[in-house]
Amino acid sequence: MRAEEWATRISKTYIDFLVQMWNIRCQIVHATSVGTSDHAYRIASMEMLQKVKKTPWHLQYQDMHIIKRSKKFFNKAPMATIKMWRKRL
């Protein structure tokens, strides 16, 4: 085996290991975030969105854009951003 092949195999093995470790880390972080106050706040915010979508005429015209948020926004956005969104309501 040539040195280049050996280095390629070692690098690939190392990268595969790091990807697996990152996936495990993501699973742990997701599992520990369920049931926290942040998680409850995100769920409550999604519920507020659904209520506001049913009665959009209660919003000011310049605030109509805030009801165009998706579930992904509430799951992935930083908490500060979600708090600012709720403040606009």
Instruction: For residue range 4-24, list pLDDT tens digits in order.
Output: 899 999 999 999 999 999 999
pLDDT digits (tens, 9 = 90+) for 27-42: 877 766 666 788 888 8
Helix (H, G, I), strand (E, B) or coil at 69: coil
CA angle 25/33/40 to nearest 5° reads: 160
What does the domain layout of the chain look like in residue ranges? Answer: 1-33, 37-88
Q: Which residues contact 34 (CB under 8 A, 6 or more apart)?
A: none
